[in-house]
Amino acid sequence: MFHSERRLGHYSPAKRPPPPPEAVLLSIASAVAATTNSDESRTRLRAAKRVAVVLVATVLTGTLAVAPAVAASVVTQESSYRIIVKREQGLSSAQRADIRQDANVELLDRLPLPQTEVVEANPGEARAALAKLNRDPDVEYAVRDATMSAAAPDPDLGNQWGLHNSGQLSGFLTDADVDAPEAWGKSVGAGQGVAVVDSGIDFSHPDLARRIAVNPGEAGTKAANGIDDDGNGYKDDHRGWDFVGDDWSVPVSDNSPDDALGHGTHVAGTIAAARDNGIGGSGVAPGARVLPLRVLDAQSNGSLSSVVSAFYYADKLGYRIVNASLGGYITADEARVLADAVAAHPGTLYVVAAGNNYGADNDSKPFYPCALPQPNIVCVGASDAQDRAADFSNRGARTVDLHAPGVDIYSTDGNRGYTHRDGTSMAAPYVAGAAALVAAIDPSLRGEALKLRLTATADRKDALGGLSTSGGRLNAARAVAGSTVAAPVASPTPTPTATPTPTATPTPTATPTPTATPTPTPTPVVTPTPRDEVFRPAPTPSPTPAPEQPAPAPAPAPAPAPAAPALSAQPALAPAPTSPPQRNSSSSASPAVQLTGVSVSSRVLKTSLKVRFKLNRTIRVTLTVGLKTCRRGKCSYRTARRLTVSGRQGANAVVLKRKQGRRRLSAGTYRVLVKADDATRTGSFVVR
């Protein structure tokens, strides 16, 4: 189960049913498969398998008649019967149906992820079905539709110290905050929208009513006409979508993402609660809008497939900032579903929680989606009012990107109320709100570029050093100004002459920023006062990047000064020599790639095999498969296939199939060349 935040107070984890009984029927695939492996006879092979199953079922009628009845009540509570399947490209509908029939599963839904669908196995047969699907040469991967969760909060005394900390309570450290009021002088996030993939929202909350985004293609008289007016696949989705319904294990989609948990309402308030309205507090980006996409039910549970669908939905409506305060310890194979969805939208910044497992290291024990290698993910740990990492917050020198306030966070709650909560789920929306502030004045920054702005401008703190890629805590004011200068307290180690030089360089950068006119442009969006205001993705004006250019001009003498801001993912930290690299970064500070342990799981490829290797850090890896050809005593390798994957630190395994789409590897001897940066290793196998 996924846990993005501490389960505290009167909430308790949902009780899980006992595991289902083992399947009555064992797989007979190996017995039938011995007859042939040819593509031409695949249809007959599948038919033979089905006949065999029918024969066995006839013999075991009494046993089979009881099994569904015994487990029927479990199906509505246990997600393990649902499987996400990604097929090879180019399959016909008949071939896809054959895959499902062979594994004895039924189609439930087709995901927006290309070639991907959700199927359901019979009670007690999920393991066998999963194994059959993964053995099928026409299946790229099959994983269980894993559970995603967000836990409940812990109410406590406090106020919005995360926005502005003046030492208002005993033990609070002055300025251990994100400098939100200083940022509001330049941006309030006007015209920006943040998709909140969570438990929904309390639409009646007075601090959020005018901050909820509306889909203009379905708004007004179109909101309840039962027609998909904007053609995005969802009827009457005028203010978000509910992907989970009352019970996450039997999801029922509708256009009412109301919050039955309070978690999503709290997150939304931290991002965009109204400011200066005489009630409650304020969000980090009080001029932005939030789009509720409900994937968690009242028990804080949801499915992997619902989250993926929400990610694609946000993209359809043009949202480039997504807050997903959820996650958990799923397998690397299951995480591929999330990785594919994130990689499909490189222009979107996904802000996710680091997890709350009391200092657990996400580098050694991956917590997803935080540990995904995609560069457009920013993973957020929680800090306290003394600029220290919260005791419950996970860490990760390569997987967590920065920290933000996550202890005693005051924000909106269900039933029109307010409460304090702890968790990295509370820290992530601080970063999402800051991203909206930055995007409002520089819409050209998207995805990875927006992430680099946020991490490069973070305040470096000794107490946070080595716990994230930046070693810093979010500073919204500096992110808006575009200042990548190291924090004032972190400058004693460098030479005195070098440190002031870059300080002067960004100063002119801030000067042209108010001159550029993006800020007044989106202002009319904030002005309307109807309950539901329309969010439209901000335009991308071409002259916006211009203010970034004058920085090198004022510094003709010291050549290195302009280069420092360019490496915004790797600003100098307090312990500069040991600062870890940004994920997927090619910075010169990254350690040399070590590629070891390359092996091929089988010497002979029949349908598929695995290429295994180890890496010392996350990096893109290319696998080149070459067919050995010899002429006149001279042999060479002709490229037959090339794969590029996201390699992670530690052990990796890539499945290589004989057939990819409509192309097959012909008989012969092959070499697989594994290349990561300048490191290369080889393995070999034979196709008969």
Question: 295 and 197 in contact (C-beta within 8 Å)?
Answer: yes
As a whole number of angstroms, the distance between CA 480 and CA 439 comes to: 9
As a whole number of angstroms, the distance between CA 194 and CA 319 comes to: 7
> Would you state the structure tokens that stand for residue 419, as one six-digit string?
């409460």
As a whole number of angstroms, the distance between CA 293 and CA 198 comes to: 6
Number of other CB atoms surrounding residue 32 within 10 Å: 18
Q: Which of 147, 97, 90, 137 is nearest to 117 (CA)?
A: 97
Q: Which of 286, 312, 340, 309 is nearest to 140 (CA)?
A: 340
> Would you state the structure tokens that stand for residue 378, as one six-digit string?
């920013």
425 is catalytic: yes
- Catalytic entry in 136, 138, 177, 198: 198
198 is catalytic: yes
Our CA dihedral for 57, 60, 65, 69, rounded to 10 degrees, sits at: -100
As a whole number of angstroms, the distance between CA 291 and CA 240 comes to: 6
Q: Which backbone phi and psi does 622 adopt, to 5 degrees?
A: -110, 130
DSSP secondary structure letter of residue 81: G
Name the strands in the sheet holding 650-657, side by side, starting at the edge strand that comes first in the sequence.
595-600, 608-615, 650-657
Q: Which of 574, 603, 571, 604 is nearest to 585 (CA)?
A: 571
- Catalytic entry in 199, 282, 303, 425: 425
b/e map 391-408, b = 16+ CB within 10 Å:
ebbbbbbbbbbbbbbbbb
DSSP secondary structure letter of residue 114: T
| Type of residue at 476 | A
Residue 10's SS3 state is: coil
Question: 573 and 470 in contact (C-beta within 8 Å)?
Answer: yes
- Catalytic entry in 263, 266, 345, 403: 263
Q: Is it true that the peptide bond before 488 is cis, omega within 30 degrees of 0?
A: no
- 560 Cβ contact partners less than 8 Å away, ≥ 6 residues apart: none
> Would you state the structure tokens that stand for residue 256, as one six-digit string?
């009412």
- 17 Cβ contact partners less than 8 Å away, ≥ 6 residues apart: 74, 77, 78
Catalytic residues: 198, 263, 425
